[in-house]
Amino acid sequence: MPAKTVKRESPYLRVGTTIYKRVRQPLSSGRSVETLIPWNVETLRQDFGKDYLARIPKYDGFCTVPDHTNYHREIDGFLNRYEPIPFQPAEGIFPHIHDFLTHIFGEQVELGYDYLQLLSYNGCRYCCWCRMNATRERRPFSIS
């Protein structure tokens, strides 16, 4: 039986000494999420032939480097587990988002806009304190 033909971009990859397959895992909501599941090397040999293993992308390990403006899946031989945001910010009127951020930040909603802008350009989280009054204690919005 001849080996199966290989797709242009392999769903398989090797991180360290472990082979993974990139799959779309179904969720109960009807959506799906991309994930990596461990795969057996011998199964790959049986399905695609022994030469296929040499064409699998290889990484030294995993890393998590957030970057929304200059995203790279591979960084210095490591597979970036951080995924890019699949849409670009645009100017416009956004009443629901404005109401939501006003609910979170209260009178400091402009601080919330600045915080989200920092997140979108830098990707790293910052500590941002908001909402302090007599009935509520001061709580962090996000802590890095």
pLDDT in tens, 63-98: 998 887 888 999 999 999 988 877 777 889 999 989
Regarding whether 30 and 64 lie in a shared domain, the answer is: yes
Indicate whether 18 belongs to any domain.
yes
Q: Containing domain of residue 114, as a range? A: 95-140
Regarding whether 72 and 105 lie in a shared domain, the answer is: no
Regarding whether 108 and 76 lie in a shared domain, the answer is: no
Q: Which of 1-5, 12-16, 35-39, 112-116 has the lowest mean pLDDT?
A: 1-5
Regarding whether 74 and 101 lie in a shared domain, the answer is: no
Indicate whether 48 belongs to any domain.
yes
Which tens digits make up the pLDDT trace of 15-29? Answer: 999 999 999 999 999
The answer to whether 32 touches 24, Cβ cutoff 8 Å, is yes
Regarding whether 22 and 70 lie in a shared domain, the answer is: yes
Regarding whether 103 and 73 lie in a shared domain, the answer is: no
Indicate whether 121 belongs to any domain.
yes
Regarding whether 102 and 54 lie in a shared domain, the answer is: no
Which tens digits make up the pLDDT trace of 107-142? Answer: 889 988 888 888 777 766 655 555 555 555 555 554
Regarding whether 43 and 74 lie in a shared domain, the answer is: yes
Regarding whether 105 and 48 lie in a shared domain, the answer is: no
Buried b (16+ CB within 10 A) or exposed e, 60-76: eeeeeebeeeeeeeeee
Query: pLDDT confidence of 9, banded at 50, 70, 90?
Result: confident
Q: Looking at the 3D structure of the chain, how many domains does it have?
A: 2
pTM of full prediction above 0.85: no
